[in-house]
């Protein structure tokens, strides 16, 4: 069975500071990994995904994440936080098997950005 652990239900940063949101996964088969963002009163929006190939993936709004198999991690980073980055961030995993892909989510991390 797959699972995702997101350390820290809340992360606070100052505007312009580095953003680091942590995600560790457990999967018995090669994973596909995703980061979704949810702004207030909106749906989950895909930030970026790792499927195969380059382990450093770049997404929208300046975010990137690195797949580290040895550490079973897929941490999300952004060099410089903006006020508009304040939102809830969800890490999710699925597998490379064929079939209909249910996403397994972490509990989410709320990013707070202060001026």
List of residues contacting other proteins (CB under 8 A): 32, 36, 41-46, 49, 51, 90, 92, 94-108
Nearest-10 Cα torsion for 32, 49, 91, 8: 120
Instruction: Report the residue number, 43 or 115, with the smaller CB distance to other proteins.
Output: 43
CB of 108 to other proteins, least distance (A): 8
Tokens of 89: 């961030």
CB of 15 to other proteins, least distance (A): 27
Which region, left, alpha or beta, applies to residue 4 given φ > 0 means left and ψ of -120 to 50 means alpha? beta
CB of 98 to other proteins, least distance (A): 7
């Amino acid at each position: 069975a797959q699972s995702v652990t997101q350390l820290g239900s809340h992360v606070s940063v100052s505007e312009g500071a580095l953003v680091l949101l942590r995600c560790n996964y457990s999967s018995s088969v090669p994973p596909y990994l995703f980061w979704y963002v949810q702004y207030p009163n909106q749906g989950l929006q895909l930030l970026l995904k790792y499927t195969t190939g380059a382990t450093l993936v770049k997404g929208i709004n300046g975010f990137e994440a690195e797949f580290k198999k040895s550490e079973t991690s897929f941490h999300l980073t952004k060099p410089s936080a903006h006020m508009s980055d304040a939102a809830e961030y969800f890490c999710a995993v699925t597998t490379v098997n064929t079939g209909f892909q249910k996403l397994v989510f972490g509990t989410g991390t709320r990013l707070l950005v202060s001026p």
